[in-house]
Amino acid sequence: MANRDPDQPGKSPADKSQGVNYLKYSGMAFQLAAAIFLGTMIGKYIDGKLNLEKPYFTLLLALLGVIAGLYVALKDFLSPNKRP
When divided into structural domains, the chain yields a total of: 1
Work out the angle between the directed axes of helices 56-78 and 13-50 (0-180°, nearest 10).
160
Residue at 84 is within a domain: no
Q: What is the pLDDT of residue 82?
A: 62
Segments in the chain below pLDDT 50 = 1
Q: Which domain holds residue 74?
A: 35-79
Residue at 20 is within a domain: no
Give the global pTM.
Answer: 0.69
Residue at 22 is within a domain: no
Residue at 10 is within a domain: no
